[in-house]
Amino acid sequence: MNTYNLPSWHEDLSSQIPATRLLMALGWHYLTPAEALALREGKRGRAVLTGVLEPWLREHNAIEFKRQRVPFSDANIRKAVDALFNEPYDGPIVTNQRIYERLTLGISLPQAVGGDTKSFTLHYVDWEHPERNVFHVTEEFEVERRGTHQTRRPDLVCFVNGIPFVVIECKRPDLATASGEKAVDQAVSQMLRNQHLDEIPDLFIYSQLLLAISENAALYATTGTDRKFWAVWEECPPLIPPKGGENGASPPSGGTEGGEASSPRQCADHRA
């Protein structure tokens, strides 16, 4: 019998390890659970890797003033990090939306430059130059439940600049129940449970993509999505380039050979 809160060896082999290897092949840098814990100052109640985020904010943000780059003060860097932690919790969807706006638009911070105090925008993600961001993945990411020292361990968590953008639950394919619930559906149930107020909702206020996987089956959603709206993840077929070179005729309507377009219902919008 598998000990409570420990990963299943079968899940490791069938889903978790292959998913981790794929992410690493795509450029996500692997962190051991111990390294991930150290990067959040040993605090299991926090989901952000401050040891990654703070240095990135310093290196990739500056104030342009009279053709000079003035760094943000240490106090403002700390304010930017604290703003992610101190966002009032108003339920998973509303809070996640506010965090999303902060991640996409940045935060305005006052700072004295050249004798004048003005507000300047500090960004958490470089959306214009994705290669300037840093990408990490870790497994068995321990997060303390609210009001207790008990923990939950999402199988895989992917971080952009230390912020948990993606949460993945993996299940071995032979876990189908007598009622007909598939293994991937059990992964969804676990994901929904972990978003409850007395669980680990503070992880999900940052997440932009949730994945439930079981070998070759996968469902995806976002924070607060009802079970019935989790969608099947399918790979889009490659588009066929126009024939005849630069001056050749365009392909039929829809962009693929034969005029069959890739419907949004047929393939997932890969925004992870």
Whole-number percent of the chain with pLDDT over 90: 67
- CA triple 109-113-115, angle to 5 deg: 125
What is the C-alpha separation between 206 and 92, in angstroms, rounded? Answer: 10
233 CB-contact burial (10 Å; exposed 0-12 / middle 13-18 / buried 19+): middle
Looking at per-residue pLDDT, the higher value among 100 and 67 belongs to 100
pLDDT value for 177: 57
What is the C-alpha separation between 220 and 269, in angstroms, rounded? Answer: 10
DSSP 178-222: TT---HHHHHHHHHHHHTSTTS-HHHHTT-SEEEEEETTEEEEE-
What is the C-alpha separation between 270 and 158, in angstroms, rounded? Answer: 14
For the stretch 214-244, pLDDT in tens is 877 899 999 999 999 999 988 777 666 655 5
- CA triple 1-198-145, angle to 5 deg: 60
For the stretch 7-49, pLDDT in tens is 444 445 567 888 899 999 999 999 999 999 999 999 999 999 9
Is 122 in contact with 109 (CB distance < 8 Å)?
yes
For the stretch 117-127, pLDDT in tens is 999 999 999 99
184 CB-contact burial (10 Å; exposed 0-12 / middle 13-18 / buried 19+): buried
The overall average pLDDT reported for the chain is: 85
Closest CA to 141 of 154, 160, 158: 154
Among 12-16, 90-94, 131-135, 148-152, the least confident range: 12-16
Is 110 in contact with 75 (CB distance < 8 Å)?
no
Whole-number percent of the chain with pLDDT over 70: 79
What is the C-alpha separation between 148 and 188, in angstroms, rounded? Answer: 24
